[in-house]
A = this chain, B = another copy of it.
Amino acid sequence: MKLTTKGRYGLRAVVDLAVNTDDEAVALSQIAERQGISLNYLEQLVARLKKAGIVNGIRGAQGGYVLAMPAEEISVGDILRALEGDLSPVDCYEINSNDTPCDNSDICVTKYVWKRISDSINDAVDGIMLSDLVAESRRVNAEAGITQESQANQTC
């Protein structure tokens, strides 16, 4: 029941991008350095975000990535689902229609549990917008003294 590094690193990367954007594209190498994430691995994470329409890539020198939408319109749920796949606790047809149907659906009792968990997770993450995290980030950084430190080696 844990998120993988895809979700953890990836959300941090998007917040970093949103915070450090200034009309120009942000190079992944900068995000990788600030966040202490390997560039090669970060590329793979950002590829998922791009595919989901959350960021746009700009190729060539001085290129980088930009948000595809205003931060107010991107939910944490959008970001985490792009990175992790569905946030349901089980692969169950009744919950995620992409899964294969289940023989025992009619007498399955636990599916009610999985549905409640799934809905509560999705409601929670869809209620937080990227802009909320950007605002919070600016606030805590101001308090901490504006030093743009590396966040390497953090556990979450």
Contacts and interface: CB of A to CB of B under 8 A. Distances in A.
Tallying the copies of this chain within the complex gives 2
Contacts of A99: 155
A127 B117 CA distance: 11
Contacts of A11: 110, 113
Contact of A103 (B8, B90, B107, B154): B154
Interface stretch (A23-31, A57-65, A135-143): A135-143
Interface string A119-156: 11101110110000100110011001000010101111
B137 A92 contact: no
Interface of A: 1-4, 7-8, 11-12, 15, 76, 84-85, 87-93, 99-100, 102-104, 106-114, 116-117, 119-121, 123-125, 127-128, 133, 136-137, 140-141, 144, 149, 151, 153-156
10 contacts: A2-B91, A12-B110, A104-B154, A106-B140, A108-B156, A109-B133, A110-B133, A112-B133, A112-B136, A120-B123
Most buried by B among A136, A153, A154: A154
- Listed from nearest, the 7 A-B pairs whose CB atoms lie closest are A90-B156, A120-B124, A120-B120, A92-B156, A104-B154, A3-B89, A109-B137
